[in-house]
């Protein structure tokens, strides 16, 4: 970790994509397409000149995922999957100047992972310049400049030939936030790392008193760049039993991405479509909704409470308005990564009023697995 006390002017324009490293890229891509309604847009592999791995790119709204699998047992992708299971390896950001972003981040304490290089397209679509720095666990942040490239996603990619199955439109628009789990006692260090290396600021901190149940607790700090990139970081706290963060770290074997929050403008339609497509969500007890109505007060007068209860959608408010959210079961074989669906109506928070109901639902799943 760095001891530098000044911040850097790295300008991250937004999240370009998240890259998953998985054991079966074709199957995981098909899951994202059929269950979550993503559209396949590009593919790379031996047919396009990539000899060591295969990647599929899917998108929906402004959300873009690259799903990568190994072609050989000695591949770093295969090693990562052996050690951690399926997970998010890279949160890639668009920048105006890769070299300056990389230089500034490293000068302020970022750990270098890949120096700047041009990825030149063999079919004359131009090039993408990129570099990467290390973060928690084996996760990296790539800096990308696409201004000189006009092909399908990146060099050595071709337009996807995957068939899109039928299903109701889902309506996911953007990545709202990406949440990390880190080791106990390191939260403050990682907040400092993002502050120094990337110029992020602390948006809000939740103590173990705010995020706790009868059995377990965690602490969380939300960092952001002030311009839409929001990265909450969690660490376990002392409790009577194993927390969800400890379970994640046990199975993933290292700090990493815990969940991805995807934003929609119509969560009722989105969740209904996802349920019809077979996506499974965490359950909340019916008694939750009586309490939620009291918390929302007049602000919730016009909400479709019957539909929210039928679909299992949670509701919370803050000084800016309200939000609606719901959480899937883990989407990987190991109990690690899951997805949040969120609709914001003025609220900038993270569903603090739902923490207890959410974490008790997670603990019920932990108990089913014998890990609570």
CATH topology agreement for domains 12-159 and 172-369: yes
Per DSSP bridges, beta strands 321-327 and 314-318 are antiparallel
- Average pLDDT, stretch 166-194? 96
3-state secondary structure of 362: helix
Distances (CA, A) of 45 to 25, 55, 59, 71, 326: 11, 7, 19, 9, 35
CA distance 152 to 146: 11
Most confident of 178-182, 200-204, 208-212: 178-182
pLDDT of residue 54 exceeding 90? yes
By C-alpha distance, which of 269, 256, 218 is closest to 338? 256
101 or 166, which is more confident: 101
341, 332 Cβ separation under 8 angstroms: no
Four-way CATH pick for 12-159: 3.40.50.300, 3.90.870.10, 3.10.180.10, 3.40.50.720: 3.10.180.10
Q: What is the 3-state secondary structure (H, E, C) of 216-241?
A: CEEEEEEEECCCCCEEEEEEEECCCC
By C-alpha distance, which of 260, 218, 313, 234 is closest to 91? 260
3-state secondary structure of 328: strand
pLDDT at residue 353 in the model: 67
Distances (CA, A) of 88 to 67, 202, 231: 9, 23, 14
In CATH terms, the fold of domain 172-369 is 2,3-Dihydroxybiphenyl 1,2-Dioxygenase; domain 1 (3.10.180)
For the chain, give the mean pLDDT: 90
255 or 51, which is more confident: 255
CB atoms within 10 A of CB 66: 25
pLDDT at residue 215 in the model: 56
The single residue listed with the structure tokens 């359950």 is: 283
Domain ranges of the chain: 12-159, 172-369
93, 230 Cβ separation under 8 angstroms: no
What are the pLDDT digits (tens) for 67-114? 999 999 999 999 999 999 999 999 999 999 999 999 999 999 999 999
- Average pLDDT, stretch 245-260? 95
What are the pLDDT digits (tens) for 219-244? 889 999 998 999 999 998 876 567 78
What are the pLDDT digits (tens) for 310-346? 999 999 999 999 999 999 999 999 999 999 999 999 9
pLDDT of residue 354 exceeding 80? no
- Average pLDDT, stretch 155-169? 88
pLDDT of residue 1 exceeding 80? no
CA distance 78 to 83: 9
CA distance 186 to 174: 29
């Amino acid at each position: 970790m760095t001891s530098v006390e000044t911040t850097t002017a790295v300008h991250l324009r937004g999240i370009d994509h998240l890259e998953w490293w998985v054991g079966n890229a074709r199957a995981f891509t098909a899951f994202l397409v059929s269950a979550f309604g993503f559209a396949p847009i590009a593919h790379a592999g031996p047919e396009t000149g990539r000899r060591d791995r295969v990647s599929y790119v899917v998108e929906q709204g402004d959300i873009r995922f690259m799903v990568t699998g190994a072609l050989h047992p000695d591949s770093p992708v295969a090693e990562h999957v052996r050690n951690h299971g399926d997970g998010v390896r890279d949160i890639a950001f668009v920048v105006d100047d890769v070299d300056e972003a990389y230089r500034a981040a490293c000068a302020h304490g970022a750990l270098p992972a890949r120096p700047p290089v041009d990825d030149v397209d063999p079919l004359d679509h131009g090039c993408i310049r990129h570099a990467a720095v290390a973060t928690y666990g084996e996760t990296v942040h790539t800096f990308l400049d696409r201004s000189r490239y006009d092909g399908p996603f990146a060099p050595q990619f071709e337009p996807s030939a995957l068939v899109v199955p039928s299903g109701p439109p889902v309506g996911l628009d953007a990545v709202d936030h990406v949440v990390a789990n880190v080791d106990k006692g390191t939260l403050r260090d990682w907040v400092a790392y993002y502050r120094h290396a990337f110029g992020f600021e602390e948006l809000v901190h939740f103590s173990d008193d705010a995020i706790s149940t009868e059995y377990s607790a965690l602490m969380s700090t939300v960092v952001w760049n002030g311009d839409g990139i929001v990265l909450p970081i969690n660490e376990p706290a002392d409790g009577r039993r194993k927390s969800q963060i400890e379970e994640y770290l046990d199975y993933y074997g290292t700090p990493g991405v815990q969940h991805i929050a995807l934003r929609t403008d119509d969560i009722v339609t989105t969740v209904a479509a996802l349920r019809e497509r077979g996506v499974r969500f965490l359950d909340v007890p019916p008694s939750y909704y009586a309490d939620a109505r009291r918390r929302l007060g007049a602000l919730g007068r016009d909400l479709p409470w019957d539909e929210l209860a039928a679909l299992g959608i949670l509701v919370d408010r803050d000084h800016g308005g309200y939000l609606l959210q719901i959480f899937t079961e883990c989407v990987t074989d190991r109990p690690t990564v899951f997805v949040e669906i969120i609709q914001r109506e003025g609220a900038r928070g993270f569903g603090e009023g739902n923490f207890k109901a959410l974490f008790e639902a997670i603990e019920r799943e932990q108990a089913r697995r014998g890990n609570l």
